Amino acid sequence: MTKNYIEQYLNAIKNGSCIVSKRCLKQYEQLVDDIKNPKGGYVFDRKRAEKPINFIERFCKHSKGEWAGQPLHLELFQKAFISALFGFVDKKNGNRKYRETLFYVARKNGKSVLLSGIALYMLIADGEPGAEVYSVASKKDQAKIIFNETYNMVRQSPDLLQVVDKRKSDLYFNLTFSKFQPLGKNSDTLDGLNSSLVIIDELHSIKDRNLYEVMQQSQSARRQPLLVMISTAGTVRECIFDDMYKYACGVCDGTIDDPHFLPIIYELDTKEEWLDPMKWEKANPGLNRIKKLDDLMSKVARAKQSPRDLAGLLVKDFNMIQTIGSAWLTFDAINNTETFNIDDFRGFYCIGGADLSRSGDLTAATLLFMDKSEKRYVTQMYFLPKDDFEQRVHDEKIPYDKWLEAGLLRLCEGNSINYSDVTAWFLEMVDKCDVTPAWIYYDPYSAAYWVQEMQGNGFNMVKCHQGVKTLSLPMQQLGQDLTAKKINYNNNPLLKWCITNTGVKTDINGNIQPIKATSPKYRIDGLASLLDAYVGLLDHYNEYLQTL
């Protein structure tokens, strides 16, 4: 029996006939593992996976260009994506596993055709009575691009033309009373929807998160809704795209647990790869089949001579997000699955760090140890206000609830952080684990009351000013030590998440300090707390060695 399309695609990736990004490879490895070793009550149903593929290739035709009127034959990367989206189902009730997906791909790789095919399948053949399919964008003209492509597909197919009617504002399938309609941000029909499929094309162009949230909430009454986002990188930062891209990376990297979100990320792994034609397929899975290779070669040649053209090329053709700050470390550099037992450090001295939130947000406390081999060990605790905790989990789509259950996070009564809870954690570590923080480094901003409390309990508190003069060398050393796997942080997913959210700001002298790489809700407090402790480690390195 032939392998399913997901396994076929992974085999093609591994034998080198298809070239993909590291995250894309990791995701398909995970999907194949989920097929062979089902988890969480979900199994792979090959018939369900191939049903939309068979529908698209049987009934859908190209609507324009040199292939107009010809049957639509999906590429292997498209078949693998559709198979994953529709093939994993709950073994008890048959409902689909995946409810939301980000398909991140460079322009001119057949995304409009792919979306139109999925839209027609969901309108006609998915089996959902009264299906409501919507193409959504910040402007209705943008939303009409997928709608018009879908209608043109219908016009090219005698079979579809017999069963799908074009009405004033939608396409209508009478047999199940289903419709497909384009919607803009300012549409009067956004309230009261009961959508089964929502398509958001070019997510990067949507600045208002509310549009995404309204459409997501419109699916709450459906048994197996689907929200499909397809986008290139775009140039507008701090928008819904940044949030969803970061979330997709977190799911793919394993720092965020969301079994219903499918991230498929086609991008260059490093900026320098735009100069290597052998790496271009990482962001362009349809290269030389859907997307013309000679056209991309011409754009690259022009960009080599023009910085202005280069910025657009990197964003649109290679999915390299352009921001003011640059990423600090790659996930491979950050990731370390080693663990340790805190009891092994009974009787040890350690160095503390604390990042107190300036509002009601995340606060982090750190203890840093070192052994005779000079390897570092990190244990942490995080704090959030209790009053809005559940709402925060729901709104921000950050798994704080999972981290709370795992004991990595504590809640403070009320709507703000109680710094006495931070003091209590340090005292608890001293008491229960028999460790001695020799110095605790802290950001002095708004910390006066807490410092007095800590000093009253016998802790040696040291100010750690948050500027390049103080942080640059420790941050550089911390980055080197993380990359060298010299820091064992007990595989703490919350700290790992904070480090992946960290960008770097560089001054004219090459000094660096941490900044948030994306949306404000993606916190770096765990990294800031660890960095404060690292300042202390470098300040007292020789003294610390003498205690070992």
Q: What is the pLDDT of residue 330?
A: 76
Q: What is the pLDDT of residue 324?
A: 38
- Confidence category of residue 235, pLDDT binned at 50, 70, 90: low
pLDDT greater than 70 at residue 202: yes
Which H, E and C letters describe 498-544, residue by residue? HHHCEEEEECCCCCEEEEECCCCCCCCHHHHHHHHHHHHHHHCHHHH
Type of residue at 171: L
% of the chain residues with pLDDT over 90 = 65
| Average pLDDT over every residue of 132-148 | 88
Alpha-carbon separation of residue 282 from 61, 253, 270, 276, 287 (angstroms): 27, 17, 11, 11, 9
pLDDT greater than 70 at residue 217: yes
pLDDT greater than 50 at residue 372: yes
Q: Which of 281, 495, 273, 527 is nearest to 406 (CA)?
A: 495
Q: What is the pLDDT of residue 510?
A: 79
Q: What is the pLDDT of residues 491-514, one digit of tens each?
A: 999 999 899 888 888 777 778 889
pLDDT greater than 80 at residue 185: no
Pairing status of strand 487-488 against strand 376-385: parallel
pLDDT greater than 70 at residue 237: no
3-class state of residue 274 by DSSP: helix
pLDDT greater than 90 at residue 64: no
Cβ atoms of 252 and 263 closer than 8 Å: yes
Q: What is the pLDDT of residues 263-288, one digit of tens each?
A: 999 999 988 899 999 999 999 999 99
Q: What is the pLDDT of residues 28-37, one digit of tens each?
A: 999 999 999 9
Q: What is the pLDDT of residue 331?
A: 75
Q: What is the pLDDT of residue 188?
A: 53
Q: What is the pLDDT of residue 358?
A: 65
Q: What is the pLDDT of residues 399-435, one digit of tens each?
A: 899 899 999 999 999 988 999 999 999 999 999 999 9
Average pLDDT, the chain: 90
pLDDT greater than 80 at residue 242: no
- How far from each other are the two terminal CA atoms of the chain, in whole angstroms? 61
Q: What is the pLDDT of residue 134?
A: 95
| Average pLDDT over every residue of 455-474 | 93
Alpha helix positions (H), 386-524: 389-396, 400-405, 419-433, 448-456, 468-483, 493-500
Helices (H) and strands (E) in the chain, counts: 20, 20
Instruction: Please give the model's pTM, rounded to 2 decimal places.
Output: 0.69
Cβ atoms of 95 and 128 closer than 8 Å: no
Higher local confidence (pLDDT), 61 or 12: 12
pLDDT greater than 80 at residue 46: yes
Q: Which residues of 145-158 are buried (b: 16+ CB within 10 A; e: fewer)?
A: bbbbbbbbbbebbe
Token pair 């921001």: residue: 323
- Confidence category of residue 325, pLDDT binned at 50, 70, 90: very low
pLDDT greater than 80 at residue 206: no
Residues 6+ positions from 198 with CB-CB distance below 8 Å:
133, 134, 136, 215, 216, 218, 219, 225, 226, 227, 228
Count of residues in the chain: 548
Q: How far is the C-alpha of 354 from the C-alpha of 442, rounded, in Å?
A: 5
Q: How far is the C-alpha of 538 from the C-alpha of 63, rounded, in Å?
A: 64
- Confidence category of residue 128, pLDDT binned at 50, 70, 90: confident
Q: What is the pLDDT of residue 327?
A: 65
Angle between helices 240-253 and 209-217 (to 10 degrees): 60
